[in-house]
Amino acid sequence: MLPWDDLQFFLAVTQHGTLSAAAKVLGVTQPTVGRRIAQLEQRLGAELFVRGPAGFQPTAIARGIVEHAEAMRDHAARAESRASGHDLGVEGKVRVTASEWLVRSVLGPLLGPLLAEHPLLELELHAEARHLNLAKREADIAIRPSQFRHDSVLQRAVASLEFGVYAADAYLARRGSPRFAEGAPGHVFIGMTHDIGPIVDHDWLAQMTARAVVAVRCNGREPMATLAAAGVGVACLPCFLGDATPGLRRLATPTPSPVRKLWLGVHRAARRTPRIRTTADFLAEGLARLQRALHPSALPMASGPRNG
């Protein structure tokens, strides 16, 4: 591991662009900064900066080190603050991505207490069916009902998510209850569009609706719930959403409904950044407390271990 004593010189040059500006911030001479950067490059066996008229521009290798160096800086500042009896505030932007219904119905109630405890946090929520890519740093934290497949993502199972089939009383009065054992002939189903990636209930539902008509497709669970409540058709929904939607009733099915773990992931390089770690831990604990509503047929489940 690179020593913080060297990395603070590296960060100063990265942030301020010249040796003289970095020296002024650090309270040392310009030759001292130049010497420490040269020593660090020798230790790594790689060039960290391209020298030019515009100053010192970080190379690709240097850009890969920046977050590690910033995490060490934050850790050092926190340790110093605690030693002096003060805690370092958690502040700055955190980008969280999850499906729309998760953001609105599940995460929404958790955010007020989080921001009350850490008022300098700035949350940027991306509520969409398409998953943003954590490995490409499109978001800081992602919550989804499937595991992340990239080694750069640290993940933990924070809850289990149960799905069920729902319909409105008005729809059932017109068409009767679906005969799932026969493929639900004569029924209209509300499905999901194919452009949002794997659908967790697809295989389970396909077995029971082979003779039904999928007349409407949506790019998210919330519009599916809205249409089902309006009597348009039958929809497979997360129980937390279906049970909370007025006018919907859960239907009995011949085979157990699917249950998926709900995964929370953060990029490995950002896991020690205080604002990201604090937000991730807060959301994980909050989701674990909601376990009974997310998986109504099971007892509450403890938060799963971190992967890696």
Least confident of 122-136, 228-242, 258-272: 122-136
Q: 3-class DSSP state for residue 211?
A: coil
pLDDT confidence of 260, banded at 50, 70, 90? confident
Mean pLDDT of 54-80: 74
Which residues contact residue 133 at a Cβ distance below 8 angstroms, ignoring those fewer than 6 apart?
Answer: 139
Cα distances (Å, whole numbers) of residue 152 to 69, 233, 269: 17, 41, 8
Most confident region among 69-83, 87-101, 120-134, 234-248 by mean pLDDT: 234-248
**Burial level of 20, CB count in 10 A (0-12/13-18/19+)?**
middle
Asked if the model's pLDDT at residue 21 lies above 60, the reply is yes
pLDDT of 141 higher than 70: yes
Q: What mean pLDDT comes out for the span 72-76?
A: 66
Determine the pLDDT at residue 296. 82
pLDDT(119) > 80? yes
Q: What is the mean pLDDT of residues 60-83?
A: 68
Residue 303 has pLDDT above 60, yes or no: no
Whole-number pLDDT of residue 172: 96
DSSP string, 130-190: SPP-TTTTS-SEEEESS----TTEEEEEEEEEEEEEEEEHHHHHHH-S--GGGT-TT-EEE
Domain architecture of the chain: domains with CATH: 4-84 (1.10.10.10), 95-157+261-294 (3.40.190.10), 160-259 (3.40.190.10)
Q: What confidence score (pLDDT) does residue 291 get?
A: 81
User: Is the pLDDT reported for residue 248 higher than 80?
Assistant: yes
Q: Cα(33)–Cα(10) distance, rounded to whole angstroms?
A: 9
Q: What is the pLDDT of residue 281?
A: 92
Q: What is the torsional sign of CA 31, 36, 39, 45?
A: negative
- Examine the pLDDT at 78 and tell me if it is beyond 70: no
How far is 291 from 301, CA to CA, in rounded Å? Answer: 6
Question: Considering the chain, what percentage of its residues have pLDDT values greater than 90?
Answer: 31
Tell me 103's DSSP state.
I
Q: Which residue has the higher pLDDT, 25 or 259?
A: 259
From 140, 139, 86, 88, select the one nearest 118 (Cα to Cα): 88
CB atoms within 10 A of CB 143: 24
Instruction: Taking residues 95-120, report their average pLDDT.
Output: 87
Q: Which of 184, 202, 193, 190 is nearest to 231 (CA)?
A: 190
Question: Looking at residues 92-111, what average pLDDT do you find?
Answer: 87
pLDDT tens for residues 192-218? 887 655 566 778 888 899 999 999 999
Residue 145: how many CB atoms within 10 A of its CB? 22
Residue-wise pLDDT for 81-99, tens only, equals 444 334 455 888 899 999 8
- Report the DSSP pairing between strands 259-267 and 153-168: antiparallel
Token pair recorded at residue 209 = 């609706």
Kindly report the average pLDDT of the chain as a whole number.
83
CB 272 within 8 A of CB 75: yes
Decide if pLDDT at 75 tops 60. Answer: yes
Task: For residues 60 and 89, give the distance between their C-alpha atoms in angstroms, rounded to a whole number.
Answer: 31
pLDDT surpassing 70 at residue 151: yes
Most confident listed range (20-24, 87-91, 243-247): 243-247
> Residue 268 gets which letter from DSSP?
G
Query: If we measure between CA atoms, which residue out of 168, 100, 94 comes closest to residue 137?
Result: 94
Cα–Cα–Cα angle for 98, 104, 108, rounded to 5 degrees: 95
pLDDT for the residue numbered 200: 66
Q: For position 85, what pLDDT does the model report?
A: 38
